[in-house]
Amino acid sequence: MLPNTGRLAGCTVFITGASRGIGKAIALKAAKDGANIVIAAKTAQPHPKLLGTIYTAAEEIEAVGGKALPCIVDVRDEQQISAAVEKAIKKFGGIDILVNNASAISLTNTLDTPTKRLDLMMNVNTRGTYLASKACIPYLKKSKVAHILNISPPLNLNPVWFKQHCAYTIAKYGMSMYVLGMAEEFKGEIAVNALWPKTGHPLQPDFFLDEYPEAVSKKVESTGAVPEFKEEKLQLQPKPRSGAVEETFRIVKDSLSDDVVKATQAIYLFELSGEDGGTWFLDLKSKGGNVGYGEPSDQADVVMSMTTDDFVKMFSGKLKPTMAFMSGKLKIKGNMALAIKLEKLMNQMNARL
């Protein structure tokens, strides 16, 4: 293999949470340039639901031309961070770039956020970023291309981004505030910036991005809704009339496959109000998948409540799930990560609805 001579060739990049997701994507991009990658992440053994470990990531990095150093690091543990930094210096001779990517998320309101989950977000997002930065800065100061990159959002003070998940927003904004502070503190020595991606296909604004700020504010003010859910047992209802909801589920059913089921592994329950409403389910756990009216045979992982009109708009791409959730039109109970997975399936539906 010919040596890589990209812009990052020979640079050492220390990335927290690099075993999967955005962290690994950044690692692979830098590796193609010929960079040395320190994979500082927790996953050493295969996870039953999440693909990738620090060792499989290392194999992928080396396959595209980079050099890898997998290190078991929980960013809440200062000693593990320090040990990984020492290994990086011993193996590669220095650190040129730090990417603070490790993060914890819980999109829950104040009363629904357990103290344990609050501590996790604060300790991983805010405290972990600070500890990793502090450990790497003495070595970054010696680099000619020193840079810290935090995967964190712009500091948007629109109340809509605090209302539904105050704790998570504050934990992520802590990372962004480090950018402001450290960029000024180490001006002329270390460049400090933040990166916050857009998501979806086609690209759409992620949380904290007011693409149309006035529209966001007006929609939230007009609804005044917060995510809350009734706990009583759902009652079976008479079969609804044929209409847009039934047609939407028919198209969803036609699009199901074993690959979709394997990639999702979740059961969704929809509580729809309005014409043709009622209780519907989308089973992406059973072989081949299934949809139907009423309750699923197994317990739902995610419950989504909204009007039938908004349901059809969301699956047809006319209403973005993020906007629906933040404005209170969509209420979610259950596993938020699995709720986000459903958005990928919605994107596949858009062209057919």
pLDDT tens sequence across 65-122: 999 999 999 999 999 999 999 999 999 999 999 999 999 998 888 998 999 999 999 9
pLDDT at 194 over 70: yes
* Contact assessment for residue 348 and residue 315, using Cβ atoms and an 8 Å cutoff: no
- What is the Cα–Cα distance from 128 to 196, expressed in whole angstroms? 18
Q: What pLDDT does residue 346 have?
A: 75
List the one residue out of 309, 304, 235, 318 whose CA is nearest residue 277.
309
Q: What pLDDT does residue 208 have?
A: 57
Cis peptide before 202 (omega within 30 of 0): yes
Cβ partners under 8 Å of residue 93, min gap 6: 12
- What is the Cα–Cα distance from 39 to 54, expressed in whole angstroms? 6
First vs last Cα of the chain: how many Å apart? Answer: 47
Q: What pLDDT does residue 221 have?
A: 42
- Count of residues for the chain? 353
Strand order across the beta sheet in which 191-194 lies: 67-72, 36-41, 12-16, 97-100, 147-150, 191-194
Q: What pLDDT does residue 252 have?
A: 86
Q: Which helix (H) or strand (E) holds 71?
A: strand 67-72
Question: Which amino acid does the sequence have at 254?
Answer: D
pLDDT at 8 over 90: yes
Mean pLDDT of the residues in the chain:
85
pLDDT at 209 over 90: no
What ranges in the chain are assigned the alpha helix state H? 21-32, 54-63, 78-92, 115-121, 128-140, 160-163, 166-185, 213-223, 244-254, 258-264, 308-315, 321-326, 336-349
Structure tokens at 235: 């009652």
> Among 70-74, 236-240, 328-332, whose mean pLDDT is lowest?
236-240
pLDDT at 228 over 80: no
- What is the Cα–Cα distance from 59 to 313, expressed in whole angstroms? 42
List the one residue out of 271, 278, 269, 296 whose CA is nearest residue 237.
278
- What is the Cα–Cα distance from 265 to 294, expressed in whole angstroms? 20
* Contact assessment for residue 167 and residue 133, using Cβ atoms and an 8 Å cutoff: no
List the catalytic residues: 168
- What is the Cα–Cα distance from 97 to 191, expressed in whole angstroms? 9
Q: Mapping DSSP to helix (H, G, I), strand (E, B) and coil, where does residue 28 land? A: helix
Q: What pLDDT does residue 269 have?
A: 93
Question: Which amino acid does the sequence have at 120?
Answer: L
351 — pLDDT class (breaks 50, 70, 90) = low
- What is the Cα–Cα distance from 262 to 252, expressed in whole angstroms? 16
pLDDT in tens, 159-184: 888 888 999 999 999 999 999 999 99
Structure tokens at 293: 């009216």
Largest distance between two CA atoms of the chain: 71
Cβ partners under 8 Å of residue 191, min gap 6: 146, 147, 148, 183
CA distances from 193 to 22, 177, 179, 210 (A): 16, 10, 6, 20
* Contact assessment for residue 324 and residue 330, using Cβ atoms and an 8 Å cutoff: yes
Structure tokens at 76: 């809440």
Taking residues 321-345, report their average pLDDT. 80
Pairing, β 331-334 against β 290-293 = unpaired
pLDDT at 18 over 70: yes
* Contact assessment for residue 257 and residue 290, using Cβ atoms and an 8 Å cutoff: no
Query: Which position has the higher pLDDT, 312 or 202?
Result: 312
- What is the Cα–Cα distance from 53 to 276, expressed in whole angstroms? 45
- The answer to whether the pTM exceeds 0.75 is no
List the one residue out of 21, 228, 219 whose CA is nearest residue 105.
21
Q: What pLDDT does residue 227 have?
A: 36
- What is the Cα–Cα distance from 122 to 55, expressed in whole angstroms? 27
